[in-house]
Chain A
Amino acid sequence: MTNMDAVHAPEVVGNKRLSEFLARFVKSKSAVIGLILLAVLVLSAIFAPVLAPYDPYDSNLPNSLQGISSSHIMGTDELGRDIFSRILYGARISLLVGVESVFLALLCGVILGATAGYYGGKTDTIIMGFMDIMMSFPDILLAIAFMTVLGRGMEKAVIAIGIVSIPQYARIVRGSVLSVKENVYVMAAKAVGNGDRRLIFVHILPNVLAPIIVRATIGVSVAILDAAALGFLGLGVQPPAAEWGTMLGSGRQTIFNAPHVVTFPGLAITLTVMAFNLLGDGLRDVLDPRLK
């Protein structure tokens, strides 16, 4: 092998892997449908100011609780605001809350899980014991308890949902670290003098990414559902913000005379959660068929 080959070899391998991944990805129906749905949602969130026919916060009381019409394709809410415009803007909040809380959970979960799995012994017992206690509560109940303490609002919802999801990631990462840490390549990396941190982050974690990515994708859908539930209970994002769960919560009062007010925000949540579920299922098939 010449020097030139040696320099290019990893890149060639990387490109091959990527093309293999893409080939399998486009074959997975659920992955493709999920990605397309998600792309539509992300684009409508980004271009909400262009796409929305009205200002989502512009109330117009004489126009309240209007049904579906050509001027308001999803009708208006109890304050006369255009529901379609609010749903477009709401996509921004839901996607942000979902992604941010998973990011927070992932960050803490990876650090805790990797530490527990790598060091084992007492460190493992303490960290995982703590995770077990957190897992002794249903997610949403724990999130509700945290919101009672933290107060209401979008950032707090992100923190509460993020915290309650930490154990899921810690468990997966710990399990994966345990399964690869005895591999020869990790031993070799250790033998040549790599420090613990480098071993964990450079040699171990990249090899356990598949289950983490799959879990995180499905995790976003769970986070969006939890955020909507908090909003619905009046604990999450506060009015007048156009959060879908909050819209459902306030629309509940008018369910008997204007059912459209609660119909569309719920559909939006369902579609978004479905997009992440489909993408997660598809990624699982593509990245790690053993997880099926």
Chain B
Amino acid sequence: MANYIIRRLLLLIPILLGVSLATFVVMHAFTTDPTEIILGQHATAEKVAALRIELGLNKPIYVQYWDYLSSALQGDLGRSVITKTSITAELVKRFPATVELSLVAMIIASVVGIVAGVISAVKQNSVWDYGTMVAALLGVSMPIFWLGLMMIILFSVILGWFPASGRIGIGLEPEHITGLYVLDALMTGNLSSFWDAFKHLVLPGIALGAYSAAIIARMTRATMLETIRQDYIRTARAKGLKERVVIVKHALRNALIPIVTVIGLQLGQLMAGAVLTETVFSWPGIGSYVVDGIMASDYPRVQGTVLLIGTIYVLANLAVDIMYSYLDPRIQHS
């Protein structure tokens, strides 16, 4: 097991190098010259040349990559060509917003997905089962940004229950501890901030979590259907255990391994979904940061964010693999 983890961690090095090289190459084939974005089309040749030196664009491409990589390893992802601000600082500032949104989406997706999946399996071929499966089909077929827009129309515009955009009302930001507003507000006992931050999280959380909820529900149903047909479940029932105990303690616990894997794999998917959800709800996270960067042709910004999301995605998948083998000792690693 320890060997397996060490080997997987070592394998991370070439993969992360590949990820950084891929983002670098893709971004450097960028159609718009960054000097043109900064200076405009009518700049003098001298000014352009000076800026190329300043940005390091006069160096051979492999030197540029090396410079980029060594700075990135030291936590410096360069500066935005538009705002001139440090990309790392901006990402650090925005990251908690994305983490908070993704966590809420994950909680919603796991709870709704597992509960719906279990009910569906236990009451197979009932109205509940069909209803859940139709809802799950809708969940995987709906574009999340459209679901977001529909919820804004219903719950913000028509009913006025939840705010349509942003993370918290002006002046209500809680004292910075973790950067997760709901948590910070709770820790400081600031209930008005907590309530406001919570209300801002509901719609984007559901929009982002819906797809994963559908996937988790489908997976839970499938594994539960397999598990409840096993002999030990019949034995548990024969012992006279209550149906709820049989389902939750005996069946669900054993069905959890594949479900946990799917939940883990959805983590990376949430980072991608955040790009769209944050755009719809003007959520100030890294997803909206990258989209704004694209619109402004701000390539270091896009490069830095894509690198960060790629790295998180790789790490999340690795964590799932390791957890999977930990949860199921039958899995052998040669």
Interface residues of A (CB under 8 A from B): 129-130, 132-134, 136-141, 144-151, 221, 225, 228-229, 232-235, 245, 248, 252, 255-256, 259, 262-263, 265-266, 269-271, 273-274, 277-278, 292
Contacts and interface: CB of A to CB of B under 8 A. Distances in A.
8 contacts: A136-B314, A233-B291, A233-B294, A255-B149, A255-B153, A266-B146, A266-B149, A277-B140
Contact of B26 (A136, A149, A256, A266): A149
Contacts of A225: 143
Interface string B272-300: 11011001100000000011001101010
Contacts of B275: 140-141, 144
B26 A145 contact: yes
Contacts of A271: 141
B145 interface: yes
Given A139-B272, A140-B275, A229 B150 contact: no
Contacts of A133: 15, 18-19, 22
Contacts of B271: 138, 141
Given A151-B31, A229-B276, A266 B143 contact: yes
Contacts of A130: 18
Contact of A132 (B15, B27, B279): B15
A137 B30 contact: no
B143 A270 contact: yes
B217 interface: no
Given A130-B18, A137-B309, 9 more contacts: A132-B15, A136-B314, A148-B294, A148-B297, A229-B276, A248-B143, A255-B149, A269-B142, A277-B141
Interface of B: 14-15, 18-19, 22-23, 26-27, 29-31, 137-138, 140-143, 145-146, 149-150, 152-153, 157, 222, 268-269, 271-273, 275-276, 279-280, 290-291, 294-295, 297, 299, 302, 306, 309-310, 313-314
A144 B294 contact: yes
A291 B269 CA distance: 22
Contacts of B313: 136-138
Nearest to A234: B295
A274 B302 contact: no
Name the residue in B142, B146, B149, B302 with the highest tally of chain A Cβ atoms < 10 Å from its Cβ: B146
Nearest to A141: B272
B309 A141 contact: yes
Contacts of B14: 129
Contact of A145 (B18, B153, B302): B302
B201 to A, nearest CB: 20
A233 B146 CA distance: 12
A266 B142 contact: yes
B306 to A, nearest CB: 5
B153 A248 contact: no
Contact of A269 (B22, B143, B297, B299): B143
A26 B72 CA distance: 56
Contact of A229 (B145, B153, B222, B294): B145
Contacts of B29: 149
A233 B157 contact: no
